[in-house]
Amino acid sequence: MNEVVSMLTPQQAGSNLHMTIILGLPAIVLLGVGTLLYFISHEKYTFAHGVLAGLSLLLTTINILTILPMTSVVLSVPGIDLFHLIHIIVGAVGYIFGLAAFVTGISGVRTKVPGLIAFVCWTTVFVMGYVQFLM
């Protein structure tokens, strides 16, 4: 498999290995709906927000675990483009903030900042991944 991946350009490797639509889109929709419900009434929808955001984090974790082994291969291909590198960095930042939002949420601390940063980063990465897939 490494021979096949090493023969691909960075754009092809990213397009063929990333699960943008399968895992990324449902994760963003779940997080968006959960966030919207929380903004409508955090007293009424806190549990629903937690379940939806938790499922979003789970899908993102699965996405990362499926991509992680190939990330080093994609980054080692000569001529890596800046677009792909930014995609990886923004995704990692979003995941770190998503974990922070999860940990603070289950501990009972109510803060919107980490979750919103994760949502913005994941949405940005989704759009970047989709654009890269179309290229």
Q: CB neighbours of 92 closer than 8 A, spacing ≥ 6?
A: none
pLDDT class for 37, splitting at 50, 70, 90? very high
Strand locations in the chain (E) = none
What is the reported pTM? 0.79
pLDDT tier at 74, thresholds 50, 70, 90: low
The mean per-residue pLDDT over the stretch 46-63 comes to: 93
Q: What percent of the chain has pLDDT over 90?
A: 44
Question: What is d(CA 21, CA 19) in angstroms, rounded to the nearest whole number?
Answer: 6
Range of the domain at 70: 2-134
**Number of domains into which the chain is organized:** 1
| The pLDDT value given to residue 134 | 74
